[in-house]
Amino acid sequence: MGTFFSEPGWLCLTVTAVLGGTILCKLKTSPGQVGRKVVCLAGLWGGACLISLSLFWGLVLFSLSYFVMYTYFSGQELLPVDQKAVLITGCDSGFGHGLAKYLDELGFTVFAGVLDEQGSGAEELRRTCSKHLSVLQLNITNTQEIQEAYSKVKEKVQNKGLWAVINNAGVLGLPTDGELIPMTEYKRCMAVNFFGAVEVTKAFLPLLRKSKGRLVNISSMAGGVPMQKMAAYGSSKAALIMFSSILRQELSKWGVKVSVIQPGGFKTNISGTSQMWETLERTVLDNLSPEVQEDYGQDYILSERSLLRLMKTCTDPDISPVLLDVRHAISAQSPFAFYAPGKLSYPWLCFASFSPTGIFDYLSRKIYSYGKKMPRVLSTSNWENEAM
């Protein structure tokens, strides 16, 4: 008790309060969700210090931890925009469309790659954005279009180089059991979500190296958390994360910084339209062998559409956390390697990484089986006896 009211004790308490207040002020002005995990970790560390040590030394270590955090956040100051040029893929709708508008408003020179330059999304960008935004026809699975886009960007940026490439374009496919997903869907997800991003990156890296700029790849929480029904999509996004992690190390010698965004559940157009769902369902049914179709049953396969409806109704329509994290990734002096915007994205990623596999699988089964249909054979009462 006497130690706490001694001058060193009061000094440590004062330093902790001042540093803590300064850090909280910095967090309020920092874009996105960059500080939440740091504050949580600092709180746990400080609590452990106070519990395990004497009050005086606990406050000393607690103050030091806040000092380290203060130094860390000093590297999060945002660089001036200064009309830096950025390329974004998949700007027809969703994250890409929102990013193009947002970065244009901030004063960036934006090259908005779209799948259809005559589509409504492209027309809206031309109508609502400034003269610093250019719409580019850019199907990232088309090598010729990638090369043409590169030539146009290089001609415009000239010696300044390209400050950032944001690989956002992606497809979801029909969420269903991995056994039921046709190989064409596996290949389509890999072609767009992985190979397309890799080819765009390789094409534009000379411009990024010239500017010592940023590479930002939009992955997904599904790339780090094993999610049932997402075998094709999740695998392609996991491949993108590994590619990004390796390039982060390789490109550091060039001064290029690489970040991965792993958003949680946000409402975008990636889930597609009812017409697209019907086409995908028919593709699934047409590619199943009679044995597999008999075991699962057509009712089970068609019921998978309910997951897409759930995605449309239960996801967050406010994509601003993603926009803010991307801004931090391309503007901060020391951007993070990974961002997890979304209410449950970061906790789920941590849980999937650190929890025992048995516990994670048990909870996953409980979540995905709630209110869901079972395959036809599994729903029969005598299936287990027949299997034995």
C-beta separation of 189 from 173 below 8 A = yes
Task: Provide mean pLDDT across the span 6-12.
Answer: 55
Q: Worst-scoring range by mean pLDDT, 75-79, 306-310, 338-342? A: 306-310
Statement: residue 32 has pLDDT above 70: no
Query: Which amino acid is residue 180, in one-letter code?
Result: L
What per-residue confidence (pLDDT) applies to 335? 94
3-state SS assignment for residue 259:
strand
Percentage of the chain beyond pLDDT 70 is: 74
One-letter amino acid at 354 equals F
Amino acid identity at 232: A
**Do the beta carbons of residue 328 and residue 34 sit within 8 Å?**
yes
The confidence band for 47, taking pLDDT boundaries of 50, 70 and 90, is low
More confident residue, 264 or 214: 214
Per the document, the length of the chain is: 388
The answer to whether 229 and 303 have CB atoms below 8 angstroms apart is no
- Residue of 66, 150, 233, 300 marked active site: 233
Asked about 233 being catalytic, the answer comes back as yes
Query: pTM here?
Result: 0.81
pLDDT in tens, 190-214: 999 999 999 999 999 999 999 999 9
Q: Quick one: tokens of 197?
A: 């991003």
Is pLDDT above 50 for 255? Answer: yes
Instruction: Render pLDDT for 107-149 as a digit per residue (tens, 0 to 9).
Output: 999 999 999 999 999 999 999 999 999 999 999 999 999 999 9
Q: How far apart, in whole angstroms, are the C-alpha atoms of residue 6 and residue 55?
A: 11
Residue 307 neighbours by CB under 8 Å, 6+ apart: 175, 229
As a whole number of angstroms, the distance between CA 300 and CA 374 comes to: 7
**pLDDT number for residue 2:** 46
Q: What are the pLDDT digits (tens) for 164-188?
A: 999 999 998 778 899 999 999 999 9
Task: Say whether pLDDT at 29 is over 70.
Answer: no
Q: How deeply is 360 buried, as exposed, middle or buried, from its count of CB atoms within 10 A (0-12, 13-18, 19+)?
A: middle
Q: How far apart are CA 133 and CA 121, in angstroms?
A: 13
CB 32 within 8 A of CB 338: no
Spatial distance between the Cα atoms of 239 and 245, rounded to a whole number of angstroms: 10
Interior/surface letters 162-198, b for 16+ CB within 10 angstroms, e for the rest: bbbbbbbbbbbbbbbbeebbbeebbebbbebbbbbbb
Round to whole Å and give the CA distance between 305 and 299.
Answer: 11
pLDDT band at 20 (very low <50, low <70, confident <90, very high): low
